[in-house]
Amino acid sequence: MTELLPPSDPRPAQLQAATADHVWDLIVIGGGASGLGTAVEAATRGHRTLLLEGHDYAKGTSSRSTKLVHGGVRYLAQGNVSLVREALRERGLLRKNAPHLVRDLAFVVPAYDWWAGPFYGIGLKLYDVLAGKLNLGSSKHLGRDAALERTPTLQKEGLMGGILYFDGQFDDARLAITLLRTFEDFGGAALNYAPVVGLLKDGEKVAGVRWRDEETGTLHEARGKVVVNATGVWVDDIRRMETPDAKPMLSPSQGVHIVVNKRFLPGQSAIMIPRTDDGRVLFAVPWHDHVVIGTTDTPVPDTHFEPRALEEEVEFILKTAGRYLDPAPTRADVLSVYAGLRPLVKGENTDGAGSTAALSRDHVIRISDGGLITLTGGKWTTYRRMGEDTVNRAEVLGGLPERLTTTPGLHLHGWSEDDRPDHWKVYGSEAEALQALPGADRFLHRELPYTEAELRWGVRFESARTVEDLLSRRTRALLLGAEASAEAAPRAAAILAEELGRDQAWQDAQVTTYRALAKGYRLS
């Protein structure tokens, strides 16, 4: 259990660790799923590791998922059996290693055609077989009444029954913070708001990084035996620091989700629509007492840290959901809309033009002539395997001791099987200590489940530096209700300023910045 400390700013100690005068075994650039997975893998093998994140942990794609730990039913339909098998194994491991963050979730695939039940039933039985001993539950056919009992808001007209199967659900940003804490538990040094602005070289070999402390503007250098570029959809930016004319690796794709009230999907079962008009699957998933519906697959020419949903994407989700849900959600029912960018890897000899639907969802590791390791692609479910593969390569490349992985059985920070309400459960074994902080009985907003104590915890123990960090990723207030979170921003800013010793002008600026951000998560 984490020891309670008086209010203090943890960043000076983190900065001191990050600027230590020694050569790191690994320097990992990027604090999303792939970077955190690599950092944890390296630290648990005893390698001296530095993790640098240019913004906040999971600021990009890694906080904008469908909230599923899954094998990928869609990939099975595409015939990518090896990817599904690997993902199902990792799903099972993560369920064991982080039971406070991952739970079993039942899915209903509704059948409105006579052939749909047998057709999808056979595929989902294969899904069960591929999961093997780590399967979460056996799929089975449901009659019409049984399907409606689990998902009573399904459109009843024409419903013939369905298929029940199981996958996992998680909170993506909370898993990122849990991995950060796990990394620190094993002696790793990590710093957010520390963008890498250049690479150091010994001759042609990449030998470290130049980075900036965003809070002071100070430039620092860190030397390392291996540098890992794990910056998601921005990996090409880092690659060009070494090779300015490097050919792009990625064809980014945008995925959009909407969040609505739980009345549109009461109960604890999700819905999976196996084939939409654009050939994707659509999920309606209960999450934190709300419902997440998505997603889309739209090629995008540019990458932004705050991608915005296109009007046609929102309409597509609402139109498709309306065919299967009664009542059907409308624009007025959307509490938040969010978009994330997928780092889809091009083929070695393709230009990536056209649809992104056929591009690989598997992770890719490339090593440059100067020894820069770039890890990209993949998905949250396989974060651990991505890290394992990357560190295996790094040990050979950097002449590091080659050690076996221990992460398949590693209990992540806060591991606990205790049953608690959602917003306490994600803290695992630390929930009791958190509830001892001031404000544990004071809610931030009448429409949000979060308390003032959770914000203080986020500052003291989870490296939160801004109101956005607290309301978007340490809690999920922004996704559960963009407008409600904007109304809570002044109190959040006051707590943050109290913890960090900031003045009123700083608080006001934080509120203004956050409310501008939250506006982009609402439908006008």
Question: Whose CA is closest to 32, among 305, 281, 313, 286?
Answer: 305
Alpha-carbon distance 53 to 230, whole Å? 10
**For residue range 6-62, what is the model confidence (pLDDT) as tens digits?**
457 999 999 999 999 999 999 999 999 999 999 999 999 999 999 999 999 999 999
Name the pTM for this structure: 0.95
Q: What is the pLDDT of residues 388-439, one digit of tens each?
A: 999 999 999 999 999 999 999 999 999 999 988 778 999 999 999 999 999 9
Asked if residue 423 belongs to a domain, the reply is no
Name the pLDDT band for 275 (thresholds 50, 70, 90): confident
Residue bearing the bigger pLDDT, 207 or 304: 207
User: For residue 263, what are the domain limits?
Assistant: 102-169+252-342
Per the CB < 8 A criterion, the answer to whether 94 and 79 are in contact is no
How many other CB atoms sit within 10 Å of the CB of residue 218? 11
pLDDT of residue 178: 98
Judgement on whether residues 154 and 259 belong to the same structural domain of the protein? yes
Residue 90 within a domain: no
Q: Does some domain include residue 2?
A: no
pLDDT of residue 347: 67
Do 307 and 366 lie in a common domain? no
Distance CA 8, CA 23 (A): 29
Answer yes or no: is 300 within a domain.
yes
**Does the pLDDT value for residue 450 go beyond 80?**
yes
Q: Which residue has 């690796």 as its token pair?
A: 249
On whether both 183 and 164 belong to a single domain, the answer is no
pLDDT band at 81 (very low <50, low <70, confident <90, very high): confident
Residue 281 has pLDDT above 50, yes or no: yes
Residue ending a domain, among 342, 372, 396, is 342
Same domain for 321 and 261: yes
Which domain-ending residue is among 342, 358, 378?
342
Give mean pLDDT, residues 213-218.
Answer: 98
User: How many other C-beta atoms are found inside a 10 Å radius of the C-beta of residue 303?
Assistant: 18
DSSP conformation class of 472: I
Q: What pLDDT, on a 0 to 100 scale, did the predictor assign at position 352?
A: 40
Is the residue at 74 inside a domain?
no
Domain assignment present for 276 = yes
Residues 288 and 154 grouped into a single domain: yes
Higher pLDDT, 108 or 524: 108
pLDDT for residue 342:
94
Task: Please state, in angstroms and rounded to a whole number, the distance separating the CA atoms of residues 125 and 121.
Answer: 6
Last residue of a domain, one of 323, 342, 361: 342
Domain match, 291 and 386 both: no
Please give the C-alpha separations between residue 253 and each of 280, 296, 342, 345, 351, in angstroms, as whole numbers: 13, 9, 5, 10, 14
pLDDT band of residue 258 (cuts 50, 70, 90) is very high
Q: pLDDT tens digits, residue range 163-205?
A: 999 999 999 999 999 999 999 999 999 999 999 999 999 999 9
Same domain, 350 and 336: no
Note whether 142 and 163 are within 8 A (CB).
Answer: yes
Average pLDDT over residues 476-502: 97
Q: Considering the domain boundaries, does residue 80 fall inside one?
A: no
Does residue 203 lie in a domain region? Answer: yes
Helix or strand (DSSP H, E) at 315: helix 311-324
E strand or H helix at 419:
none
Q: What pLDDT shows up at residue 197?
A: 98
Residues 447 and 498 in one domain: yes
**Is the N-terminal amide bond of 295 cis, ω within 30° of 0?**
yes
Statement to judge: residues 445 and 514 lie in one domain = yes
Quote the mean pLDDT of the chain.
Answer: 93
Q: What is the pLDDT of residues 335-369, one digit of tens each?
A: 999 999 999 998 654 444 444 444 456 899 999 99
- Do residues 407 and 41 make contact, with C-beta atoms less than 8 angstroms apart? yes
Nearest residue to 481 via CA among 516, 456, 446: 446
Is residue 267 located within the same domain as residue 333?
yes
User: Domain with 195 in it: what CATH number?
Assistant: 3.50.50.60
Residue 274 binned pLDDT confidence (cut-offs 50, 70, 90): confident
Which residue shows structure tokens 């604890």?
268
Question: What phi and psi, each to the nearest 5 degrees, are found at residue 33?
Answer: -60, -50
CATH number of the domain that residue 124 is part of: 3.30.9.10
Looking at the structure, tell me whether residues 159 and 257 fall in a common domain.
yes
pLDDT at 7: 57
**Percent of the chain predicted with pLDDT > 90:** 83
Cβ pair 164, 174 in contact under 8 A: no
- d(C-alpha 314, C-alpha 308), whole Å: 10
Burial of 72-107, coded b for 16+ CB within 10 Å and e otherwise, reads bbbbbeeebeebbbbbbbbbbbbbebbbbbbbebbb
140: tokens are 């089975």
Q: Are 260 and 334 in contact (CB under 8 A)?
A: yes
Q: What mean pLDDT is predicted for residues 98-119?
A: 89
Is the Cβ–Cβ distance between 222 and 20 less than 8 Å? no
CA distances from 337 to 246, 300, 306, 324 (A): 34, 18, 12, 20
Inform me whether the pLDDT recorded for 133 exceeds 60: yes
231 pLDDT exceeds 70?
yes
Give the pairing of strands 161-170 and 102-111: antiparallel
Q: Residue 465 has which token pair?
A: 């530096």
Number of compact structural domains in the chain: 3
- Return the HEC string of 139-193: CEEECHHHHHHHCCCECCCCCCEEEEEEEEEECHHHHHHHHHHHHHHCCCEEECC
Question: Do residues 162 and 266 share a domain?
Answer: yes
DSSP tag of 49 = E
Residue 375 pLDDT: 97
